């Protein structure tokens, strides 16, 4: 119990620190939302309209420390005010519409990459020097060096434009009404194929290399040799003995990746025009939408911290030595 309380205290402190940084980052950017609005209107608005806009969107004009206290209060009440880009919708409403799409995209891609990369890494380590190890290990290193934007654009060009197998934008057919209907769900699944595949492809190499190296280290341990000497099947020794202990570092990597992509896979969502949190972050940055940017970064922080806390708990379940400690 003390372990959980210590970790909770640490993550609360980390969240407060991240929220503080989140407050200052948008305000260090050149320009402000009201000036951007006036620039778009080619100075056709009267000067008194600027004061009205400031009051409408709730921009604090007092000292920075007062703005900070108001911001901290809004964080814990989750009342981040109206979105500038999508006014009159609030930031909570805008993020609420995009969150399910990012959860679906990021969650599916992360699980697919983790399972595929880990299984390939286990097989490559168990049969070192074989065909799979010879091809997969150098291939994984090459995959890791490819930027995500290159992968997304390549998938879009080949499968979306050249072969025309999948749609190139949107999360579903715009002619359909969102709902839990077979036609809508099938359309959403069809539109998600390319974003999910491209996002998963980026992370498979890291899981493969990590799992392979960890497995090789475990295969020389006494308990693995004892399992083989007892006549246990290769499948049982490989998964129940070696892979279980080799999985721990990969679980950490999975949590970090899941937390990062859950906050918004900006490159993938922008390339495929996918209406998730990453795409919203891009639109918010362009529009200088401070409330939307701050809300999005808060979600990314919560996702990362929650994923790491989950890993701490999973470690205790996977490793009996931690439970005894």
3-class secondary-structure state, position 36: helix
∠ at Cα 229 (228, 231), nearest 5°? 70
Share of the chain above pLDDT 70, in %: 73
DSSP 155-189: HIIIIIIIS--S-SS-SS-TTSPPSS-HHHHHHHH
Lowest mean pLDDT among 102-116, 121-135, 271-285: 121-135
Q: How far, rounded to the nearest angstrom, does the alpha carbon of residue 168 sit from its chain's CA centroid?
A: 21
3-class secondary-structure state, position 43: coil
Task: Please state, in angstroms and rounded to a whole number, the distance separating the CA atoms of residues 232 and 238.
Answer: 10
**pLDDT tens-digit map of 183-200:** 888 888 888 888 888 888
Query: So what's the pLDDT on residue 276?
Result: 81
Q: What is the pTM of this model?
A: 0.73
Cβ neighbours of residue 116 closer than 8 Å, sequence gap 6 or more: 200, 204, 207
**pLDDT tens-digit map of 10-32:** 878 888 888 888 777 766 666 56
Residue 73 CB burial class (10 angstroms; 0-12, 13-18, ≥19):
exposed
Nearest to 22 by CA among 259, 262, 282, 302: 302
For the chain, give the mean pLDDT: 75
Is residue 321 scored above 70 in pLDDT?
no
3-class secondary-structure state, position 41: coil
Q: Could you give the domains of the chain? A: 2-77 (no CATH), 93-324 (1.10.3720.10)
Query: So what's the pLDDT on residue 31?
Result: 58
3-class secondary-structure state, position 287: coil
Q: What DSSP state is assigned to residue 89?
A: S
Cβ neighbours of residue 220 closer than 8 Å, sequence gap 6 or more: none
Nearest to 21 by CA among 91, 96, 71: 71
Task: Answer with the residue of higher pLDDT: 145 or 46.
Answer: 145
Is residue 53 scored above 70 in pLDDT?
no
**pLDDT tens-digit map of 124-176:** 777 777 777 677 777 777 777 778 788 888 888 888 888 888 887 777 777 77
Q: How far, rounded to the nearest angstrom, does the alpha carbon of residue 258 sit from its chain's CA centroid?
A: 5
**Residue 303: which pLDDT band, with cuts at 50, 70 and 90?**
confident
Average pLDDT over residues 222-237: 67
Tokens in use for 117? 């990369």
Q: How far is CA 304 from CA 190, 248, 259, 309, in A?
A: 28, 18, 4, 9
As a whole number of angstroms, the longest Cα–Cα distance in the chain is: 86
Name the phi and psi angles at 315, rounded to 5: -55, -40
**pLDDT tens-digit map of 254-278:** 777 776 666 557 778 888 888 888 8
Tokens in use for 220? 């020389």
Nearest to 292 by CA among 60, 89, 1: 89
């Amino acid at each position: 119990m003390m372990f959980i309380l210590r970790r909770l205290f640490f993550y609360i402190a980390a969240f407060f620190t991240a929220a503080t940084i989140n407050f200052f980052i948008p305000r260090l950017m050149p320009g402000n939302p009201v000036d951007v609005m006036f620039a778009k209107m080619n100075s056709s608005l009267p000067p008194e309209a600027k004061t009205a806009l400031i009051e409408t969107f709730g921009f604090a004009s007092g000292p920075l420390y007062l703005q900070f206290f108001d911001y901290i209060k809004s964080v814990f009440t989750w009342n981040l005010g109206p979105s500038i880009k999508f006014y009159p919708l609030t930031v909570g409403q805008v993020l609420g519409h995009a969150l399910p799409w990012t959860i679906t995209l990021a969650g599916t891609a992360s699980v697919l990459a983790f399972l595929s990369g880990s299984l390939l890494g286990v097989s490559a380590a168990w049969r070192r020097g074989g065909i799979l190890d010879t091809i997969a290990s150098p291939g994984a290193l090459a995959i890791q060096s490819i930027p995500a934007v290159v992968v997304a654009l390549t998938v879009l060009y080949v499968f979306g434009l050249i072969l025309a197998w999948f749609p190139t934008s949107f999360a579903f057919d715009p002619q359909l009404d969102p709902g839990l209907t077979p036609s809508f769900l099938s359309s959403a699944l069809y539109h998600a194929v390319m974003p999910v595949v491209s996002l998963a492809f980026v992370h498979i190499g890291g899981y493969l290399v990590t799992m392979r190296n960890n497995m090789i280290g475990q295969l020389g341990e006494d308990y693995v040799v004892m399992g083989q000497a007892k006549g246990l099947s290769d499948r049982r020794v490989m998964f129940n003995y070696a892979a279980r202990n080799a999985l721990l570092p990969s679980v950490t990597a999975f949590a970090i990746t899941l937390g990062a992509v859950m906050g918004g896979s900006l490159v993938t969502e922008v390339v495929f025009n996918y209406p998730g949190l990453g795409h919203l972050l891009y639109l918010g940055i362009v529009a200088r939408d401070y409330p939307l940017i701050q809300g999005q970064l808060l979600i990314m922080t919560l996702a990362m911290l929650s994923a790491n806390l989950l890993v701490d708990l999973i470690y205790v379940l996977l490793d009996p030595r931690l439970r005894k400690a």
